[in-house]
Amino acid sequence: MKWLVSAVLIVVLTGCETFGDRITEEQLAAIDKVGVVSLIDDQIAYSYVGVTIFNNENNLYPFPGLGIDNYITTTMTEALSRVNPRVKVLPVDADFETFRAAYKNEELIASLDNKKFISLFASQASQMGLRYVVVASRDSIQFDQTPVSVNGFGLRKHVASDNVGAFVLIKFELIDLVSQKVLAKARVFERDQASEFAWLEPFADNDEAFKTSIKDYIYQAIDGWTKSVSSTLLMSQKDQQVCAKQVYARGFEIDGVNYTTQEAVLQQRYEYIRHKIMNEEAKGDDALPPYEERFKATEDKVIDCLSQLSL
């Protein structure tokens, strides 16, 4: 039971948020220019969990007109430029088919191999004078302890439920092309367990209104990530602590108690969610505390503070 609760907690605490590793202050000081490249491709995933493993399916379908790579590149270039104006951020025009071979599973576009990417990107990096690059790739995760991984973005359906879930899974990594090391990363996802989307396969059989609603869902998810992702990649842990201390010193009230540190608020939030799940009082997003929107607004203030530090 303990491992199950832990798994559920990870999903609840990280869904719609950023989690990963920040760059160190020393590494950040060496960066004056960074490129942004997105390797997602306009293909939507359909993940079906059947009665047995032989009934499970993972399929990709073309999503004409989505333009996800261009949207991510543009959005993240602007966000990174705002959060750290000292660093020059350049969008990279990448042909997905050139880099598809960098994925370990080319058919499902899953598990980017950074070393293969670096090799394929070497010539373009040299032409642009880039040593550092932020790479967006499809991420994968298993939901609800099922043996089927969802990947990238799309729809998921379980045979035991009438619900159709929508998801977006994208990994961002800041890579040093010379040392081939990942300096910072942000693994984020958006999940709607019981969305209003229908399950009509193949994707092309859906009408234009449905396709537009899916596109809007994906774009809104990306927009919601940009602040937290960009600050994780181009602001140091030391700066984050400075801003968290400054913002939370003003106080954050929970049940009549005024907490003045980010650590204390995060602990109260964790315990609230843990209690709800352990006692089976709520599942998923329903286990989030009543002050969740206020918490997110406060975290946004920390990110806004970070962007001011680099000016």
pLDDT digits over 127-137, tens only? 999 999 999 99
Q: Is the pLDDT of residue 4 over 60?
A: no
C-alpha 168: how far from chain center: 8
Can you give the pLDDT at residue 44?
Answer: 97
DSSP letter for 22, please. P
Contact 293, 223 (CB under 8 A): no
Bridge partners for 136 per DSSP: 38, 172
Bridge partners for 57 per DSSP: 48
pTM exceeds cut of 0.85? no
Q: Are residues 251 and 172 in the same domain?
A: no
Can you give the pLDDT at residue 310?
Answer: 62
Q: Are residues 282 and 182 in the same domain?
A: no
Can you give the pLDDT at residue 30?
Answer: 95
Contact 10, 270 (CB under 8 A): no
Q: Are residues 190 and 299 in the same domain?
A: no
Which of 234, 263, 290 is the C-terminal boundary of a domain? 234
Mean pLDDT of 297-310: 81
Between 28 and 160, the more confident residue is 28
Which range marks the domain in which residue 28 is found?
Answer: 2-234
pLDDT digits over 204-219, tens only? 999 999 999 999 999 9
Looking at the structure of the chain, the number of domains it has is 2
Which of 217, 234, 251 is the C-terminal boundary of a domain? 234
The two tokens of residue 297 are 């607004």
Mean pLDDT of 136-157: 82
Which residue pairs from 6-15 have beta carbons closer than 8 angstroms and sit at least 24 positions apart in sequence?
A: 7/145, 8/277, 8/283, 8/284, 9/270, 9/273, 9/274, 9/277, 11/143, 11/191, 11/284, 12/273, 12/277, 12/284, 12/285, 12/287, 12/288, 13/270, 13/273, 14/189, 15/189, 15/190, 15/191, 15/285
Q: Of the given ranges (6-10, 25-29, 141-145), which has the lowest mean pLDDT?
A: 6-10
Q: Are residues 50 and 140 in the same domain?
A: yes
Mean pLDDT of 242-253: 94
Give Dmax (Cα) for the chain: 59
Can you give the pLDDT at residue 204?
Answer: 96
Q: Are residues 273 and 212 in the same domain?
A: no
Mean pLDDT of 175-184: 96
pLDDT digits over 113-129, tens only? 999 999 999 999 999 99
Q: Is the pLDDT of residue 50 over 70?
A: yes
Q: Which of 87, 177, 78, 74 is nearest to 132 (CA)?
A: 177
- Average of per-residue pLDDT values in the chain: 86
- Beta-carbon contacts of 187 under 8 Å, excluding residues fewer than 6 positions away, are 18, 19, 20, 139, 171, 172
Q: Are residues 264 and 164 in the same domain?
A: no
Count Cα atoms within 13 angstroms, Cβ side, for 85. 8
Q: Are residues 252 and 307 in the same domain?
A: yes
Q: Is the pLDDT of residue 2 over 50?
A: no
Which of 234, 255, 279 is the C-terminal boundary of a domain? 234
Q: Are residues 172 and 271 in the same domain?
A: no
The two tokens of residue 201 are 């396969």
Can you give the pLDDT at residue 8?
Answer: 45
% of the chain with per-residue pLDDT over 90: 57
Helix then strand then coil, % of the chain, to nearest 5 = 45, 25, 30
Can you give the pLDDT at residue 170?
Answer: 95
Contact 183, 27 (CB under 8 A): yes
Q: Are residues 278 and 255 in the same domain?
A: yes
Can you give the pLDDT at residue 285?
Answer: 64
Q: Of the given ranges (154-168, 204-218, 238-252), which has the lowest mean pLDDT?
A: 154-168
Q: Are residues 44 and 145 in the same domain?
A: yes
Mean pLDDT of 189-193: 78
Q: Are residues 201 and 263 in the same domain?
A: no
Q: Are residues 182 and 275 in the same domain?
A: no
